[in-house]
Amino acid sequence: MATLTWQGRTIACGDESVLDALAREGVTVPSSCRAGACQSCLVRAVAGTAPSSAQKGLRASLVEQGFFLACQATLTDDLTAAPADDLPVTRATVLRVERAADDVARVFLRTDGAFEARGGQFVHVMRDDGLTRPYSLANRSGDGSLELHVRRVAGGAMSPWLCDLAAGATLHLRGPSGECVYRRDRPTQPLVLAGTGTGLAPLLGVLRDALDAGHGAPITLVHGARTLAGLYEDDALRAMAARHPMVRYEPAVLDAPEGDPRRGDFRARVAAVVKATKGARVHLCGPPETLRPVQRDTFLAGVPLGDIAADLFVTAPSR
Ligand SMILES: Cc1cc2nc3c(=O)[nH]c(=O)nc-3n(C[C@H](O)[C@H](O)[C@H](O)COP(=O)(O)OP(=O)(O)OC[C@H]3O[C@@H](n4cnc5c(N)ncnc54)[C@H](O)[C@@H]3O)c2cc1C
Ligand code: FES
């Protein structure tokens, strides 16, 4: 059985993940999805080799420094690891929180000092008690102004707290992370941006980045919702489409009244848009149960994997 050495303690690791082995010993490492999607559980190998299977999706610079995802790591060889305390953390102040829909808030933040991030990347919001969750950026940032869209999950540990923050409150951010970003080296490739719920946030980040860069090809944004109230950026997206002739906004609302042009099935709508848009790069964001089938459809429709950028909002299963 392989042994994990962690801050002077020796922990035997069987088939369980490093995250679970640490938890068994009473050591808490921040975590969120427990599925390799969110990077909340980063730790660092300081002696021995980090399991490469637990480094998928990490930036090359993190891999080079020995970082790995504790929830994805099972050990076959002995390893000494340490918390990711040396990753930079930025303090941010809440500027305002706006109610966008019954269960969605826009949270506007300003970091202390500059904060370079691309629209569509995500940041880890860290609370003082160590609770950590990833949230996507609806804007590109250089000066440290950030916009998050947060869906209030009933009974959730982080999202209700974030939605109820008052202006002036402070929190900490790690990141940015993620590759679901606008490709500035592909200014003439059509874009299809599709998501449901707050999956709109990273798509809006990509759209804003594309427009800032003077993107020169059609951009179609499909926002899916169950009810019309779920189209929480309807007016702003209509206005954007009116201002920019290359932008098409296609809402798909399951329960919209008969005859309302916004009525439609999200999966079918995205399939039709993908079919009609040759050579597109396709961004898919939102809850995995809705987006995974769309990801599969998109691949089967002939879009190469390298042209599908997906950020699935994977959450930990209830325990
Ligand atoms: C890369 C990435 C980017 C993300 N970006 C965003 C974003 O921009 N906006 C956003 O709102 N969220 C985003 N999320 C999800 C976010 O990180 C949290 O998982 C979410 O806010 C729930 O956290 P919580 O602490 O409130 O709930 P938790 O305490 O983690 O969960 C409480 C319970 O609710 C269940 N649950 C959690 N989320 C959901 C859900 N969506 N639907 C149904 N049940 C759920 C859990 O399984 C658990 O049983 C993102 C996730 C990832 C991986
Ligand atoms: S990647 Fe490990 S908890 Fe999300």
**How does the average pLDDT of the chain come out, rounded?**
94
Helix (H, G, I), strand (E, B) or coil at 221: strand
Cα dist. 116→173, 204, 292 in Å? 12, 17, 30
Give the pLDDT score at 10.
94
Mean pLDDT computed over 28-39: 91
- Measure the CA–CA gap between 71 and 33, rounded to whole angstroms: 9
The answer, yes or no, to whether residue 318 has pLDDT greater than 80, is: no
Helix (H, G, I), strand (E, B) or coil at 253: strand
Contact 131, 30 (CB under 8 A): yes
Q: Is 33 in the pocket of ligand 2 (CB under 6 A)?
A: yes
Which 8-state DSSP code applies to residue 194? E
- Measure the CA–CA gap between 80 and 318, rounded to whole angstroms: 30
Mean pLDDT computed over 68-82: 94
Q: Are strands 308-312 and 281-286 parallel, antiparallel or unpaired?
A: parallel
The residue with greater pLDDT, 115 or 242, is 242
Helix (H, G, I), strand (E, B) or coil at 201: helix
pTM of the model: 0.93
Mean pLDDT computed over 249-254: 97
Give the pLDDT score at 291.
96
The answer, yes or no, to whether residue 194 has pLDDT greater than 90, is: yes
Give the pLDDT score at 94.
97
Nearest CA owner, ligand 1 atom 51:
313
The answer, yes or no, to whether residue 53 has pLDDT greater than 60, is: yes
Helix (H, G, I), strand (E, B) or coil at 247: strand
Contact 120, 209 (CB under 8 A): yes
Least confident of 130-134, 185-189, 201-205: 130-134
Which 8-state DSSP code applies to residue 90? E
Give the pLDDT score at 175.
86
CA of 19 to the centre of ligand 2 (A): 9
The answer, yes or no, to whether residue 319 has pLDDT greater than 80, is: no
CA angle (313, 318, 319) in 5-degree steps: 140
- Helices in the chain by DSSP H: which ranges? 18-24, 60-64, 159-163, 200-212, 234-243, 266-276, 288-300
Mean pLDDT computed over 26-55: 92
- Measure the CA–CA gap between 311 and 199, rounded to whole angstroms: 8
Confidence band for 144, pLDDT divided at 50, 70 and 90: confident
Give the pLDDT score at 191.
98
Contact 297, 267 (CB under 8 A): yes
- Measure the CA–CA gap between 71 and 105, rounded to whole angstroms: 29
Give the pLDDT score at 125.
96
Q: Is 55 in the pocket of ligand 2 (CB under 6 A)?
A: no
Give the pLDDT score at 114.
84
Confidence band for 245, pLDDT divided at 50, 70 and 90: very high
pLDDT tens, residue by residue, 77-107: 999 999 998 888 999 999 999 999 999 999 9
Which of 71, 122, 311 to probe ligand 2 with, by most ligand atoms within 8 A of CB? 71
Query: What structural domains does the chain harbor?
Result: 2-83 (3.10.20.30), 89-177 (2.40.30.10), 191-312 (3.40.50.80)
pLDDT tens, residue by residue, 195-229: 999 999 999 999 999 999 999 999 999 999 999 99
Give the pLDDT score at 157.
94
The answer, yes or no, to whether residue 74 has pLDDT greater than 80, is: yes
Helix (H, G, I), strand (E, B) or coil at 195: strand
The answer, yes or no, to whether residue 149 has pLDDT greater than 80, is: yes
Q: What percent of the chain has pLDDT over 70?
A: 99
Mean pLDDT computed over 171-189: 93
Nearest CA owner, ligand 2 atom 1:
36
Strand ranges in 104-190 using DSSP code E only, listed in sequence order: 104-111, 122-126, 132-136, 145-151, 170-177
CA of 269 to the centre of ligand 2 (A): 31
- Measure the CA–CA gap between 163 and 103, rounded to whole angstroms: 9
The residue among 300, 262, 283 whose CA lies nearest residue 118 is: 283
Mean pLDDT computed over 310-319: 82
Give the pLDDT score at 88.
85
Q: Based on C-alpha coordinates, what's the Rg of the chain?
A: 20
- Measure the CA–CA gap between 217 and 58, rounded to whole angstroms: 30
The residue written with tokens 């944004």 in the block is 221
